[in-house]
Amino acid sequence: MDDSRYSLRPFRDDDYETLSRIGSRINPDFPVTAVELRQWNQMYREPGLVKLDFFVDDRSSGAGVAYGSLRHAPEMFHPHRYWVEVGVDPGHRHQGIGRAVFDHLESVAQRRSAETLWASVRAEDERSLRFFERTGFTERRRVWMSRLTLEALTTAGHRDGTSAPESGVTFTTLSEEGADRPEVRERIYRLDIEANRDAPRLGTGTDLTFEQYSEIAFRGTRYFPEAVFLARVGEEYVSMSTLHRLPAEPDTVLVGFTGTLPSYRGRHLASELKRRAVEFARARGYRFVRTFNDSDNPRIWAINQRMGFQVQSVWVRGEKRLA
């Protein structure tokens, strides 16, 4: 990177709009608003969680042209393991900026006694994939982004299981149960934590605190209580599938977490909840439903395939061990 043209500095609170612009230009299929980015940072206010962000400015114009982030992963917290992210505005690539930002992040990580770095790149982006490999990362798994085109469905009402869910199960939503009731939120939190324990991850899973979970699940512009679908047995929630609004893509909803308590798996509960979610999205006039699926989670992938989701992009996730 030419230091006479570009300068690296810490992230400022007024950088969110520029960060949104750069991120959306790098990944036009996944635009994100400044409001969402600001909200996501709220969870890092908890003691012990680290998130360090940096920006690169073009000295001549003063415009931000690249960013870098080093952060803990709350869902698999380890004090010496960090996610790294580097993004360069397409109009300023081939200037060595990305490598300079990564070297800075790695240096900061080493000063913090980091032992492992994690990163993710799109498999279709050959340049980013080469950068991933040249900087020392080794692929560990892949994540598929799939999309369901609602207009193409002949019917959203089909069941993808071989039989209907058993009796004794009540299907409901967060709105119907009482979106603002603390006991309802606590029970959803316990279901999510328990059902999520065996989800594939790069590191060892850790439980989010209730406050961290609430920041993600019950607040912000993506929060959609009418689209949090639940299966209840008595007073216990045993399965869930959620949809999130995407403020930058008003014609699309995103599938959040879908999971079932281990003792209730194999009863088509997740399939039924996803079916209801798709019907809900189509009735509300959405055109697309998007979801992400880890390559190590064949159970959910099988549901998605039967429902008609088509893979749109593949993300490579990997790690770099530090000395």
Where residue 77 sits, what CATH number does that domain have? 3.40.630.30
Q: Which residue, of 96, 114, 132, is where some domain finishes?
A: 114
- Residues 166 and 105 placed together within one structural domain of the fold: no
Residue 140 lies in a domain: no
Whether residues 201 and 308 share a domain: the answer is yes
Indicate whether 128 belongs to any domain: no
**Which of the listed residues 114, 135, 166 is the one where a domain comes to its end?**
114
Give one DSSP letter per residue of 79-140, joined into a string: TTEEEEEEEE-GGG-SSSHHHHHHHHHHHHHHHTT--EEEEEEETT-HHHHHHHHHTT-EEE
Residue 64 DSSP SS3: strand
Residue at a domain's end among 70, 97, 114 = 114
Q: With 0.85 as the threshold, say if the pTM is over it.
A: yes
- Within this chain, do residues 110 and 219 fall inside the same structural domain, yes or no? no
Q: Do residues 264 and 157 share a domain?
A: yes
Q: How many domains would you assign to the chain?
A: 2
Same domain, 88 and 23: yes
In contact, 91 and 99? CB cutoff 8 Å: no
What is the residue-level pLDDT of the chain in tens, covering all 323 positions? 888 899 999 999 999 999 999 999 998 888 999 999 998 888 788 888 999 999 999 999 999 999 999 999 999 999 999 999 999 999 999 899 999 999 999 999 999 999 999 999 999 989 999 999 999 999 999 999 999 999 877 654 445 444 455 678 999 999 999 999 999 999 999 999 999 998 888 899 899 999 989 988 998 899 999 999 999 999 999 999 999 999 999 999 999 989 999 999 989 999 999 999 999 999 999 999 999 998 888 888 888 888 889 999 999 999 999 97
Q: What is the pLDDT of residue 156?
A: 47
Same-domain check for residues 158 and 108: no
Q: Which long-range contacts (CB under 8 A, 24 or more apart) does 174-180 make?
A: 174/225, 174/226, 174/228, 174/230, 175/225, 175/226, 175/228, 177/230, 177/232, 179/218, 179/225
Q: Are residues 189 and 72 in the same domain?
A: no
Q: Are residues 150 and 225 in the same domain?
A: yes
In a shared domain, residues 203 and 86: no
Within a domain: 59? yes
Residue span of the structural domain in which 87 resides: 6-114
Q: Are residues 43 and 107 in the same domain?
A: yes
Query: Number of helices (H) and strands (E), helices first, in the chain?
Result: 9, 12
First to last CA, the chain: 25
Q: For residue 129, is it within any domain?
A: no
Residue 98 forms part of a structural domain: yes
Using the 8-state DSSP alphabet, how is residue 66 labeled? E
Shared-domain flag, residues 201 and 241: yes
Does a structural domain hold residue 17?
yes
